[in-house]
Amino acid sequence: MGGSLARKDRTRAALLLAPAYLWLTLAVFLPLSAMAFFSLLSDVPFGDREWHVTLDNYRAFLETGTYAALLWKSVKLGVTVTALSVLAGFPCALVLAKVIRGRAREAMFLLVILPFWSNSLVRIFSWAIVLRGNGVLSAAIDAVLPWDVRVNLMFSPTAIVIGLVHSYLPYVILTSYLALQAIDDSLIEAARALGAPRRTILMRIILPLAAPGIVAGAVLIFVPVVGSFMEPRLLGGRLGTYYGTVIEDQFVAVFNWPLGAALSFILLAVVLAILAAASPALRRALR
How much is the pLDDT for 86? 95
Beta strands in 195-276 (DSSP E): none
Confidence class for position 270, pLDDT limits 50, 70, 90: very high
Question: What Rg value do the Cα atoms of the chain yield, rounded?
Answer: 24
How much is the pLDDT for 3? 54
Pick the CATH number of 65-286 from 1.10.10.10, 3.40.50.11540, 1.10.3720.10, 3.40.1280.10: 1.10.3720.10
Question: What are phi and psi for residue 41, nearest 5 degrees?
Answer: -105, 155
Confidence class for position 72, pLDDT limits 50, 70, 90: very high
CA 118/CA 114 separation, integer angstroms: 7
How much is the pLDDT for 5? 54
How much is the pLDDT for 58? 94
pTM of full prediction above 0.85:
yes
Confidence class for position 286, pLDDT limits 50, 70, 90: low
Taking the CA atoms of 48, 31, 120 and 79 in sequence, report the sign of the dihedral they define.
negative
Confidence class for position 59, pLDDT limits 50, 70, 90: very high
How much is the pLDDT for 52? 87
Q: Is the pLDDT of residue 1 over 70?
A: no
List, as one string, the DSSP characters of 118-156. Answer: S-HHHHHHHHHHHHSTTSHHHHHHHHHSSS------SSS
Average pLDDT on 146-156 reads 79
- Bridge partners, residue 41, by sequence: 53
Q: Where are the domains of the chain?
A: 65-286
How much is the pLDDT for 285? 61
How does pLDDT run across 196-250, given as a tens digit for each residue? 888 898 888 888 889 889 999 999 999 999 999 999 999 998 888 999 999 999 9
CA 161/CA 154 separation, integer angstroms: 11
Confidence class for position 262, pLDDT limits 50, 70, 90: very high
How does pLDDT run across 3-13, given as a tens digit for each residue? 565 677 778 87
Distance of CA 102 to the CA centre of its chain: 30
pLDDT, greater one: 280 or 205: 205
Question: What are phi and psi for residue 123, nearest 5 degrees?
Answer: -60, -45
Residues in the chain: 287
CA 167/CA 76 separation, integer angstroms: 18
CA 90/CA 169 separation, integer angstroms: 10
Burial 113-131 (b: 16+ CB within 10 A, else e): eeeeeeeeeebbeebbebb
Q: Which residues contact 258 (CB under 8 A, 6 or more apart)?
A: 38, 39, 40, 41, 42, 43, 44, 57
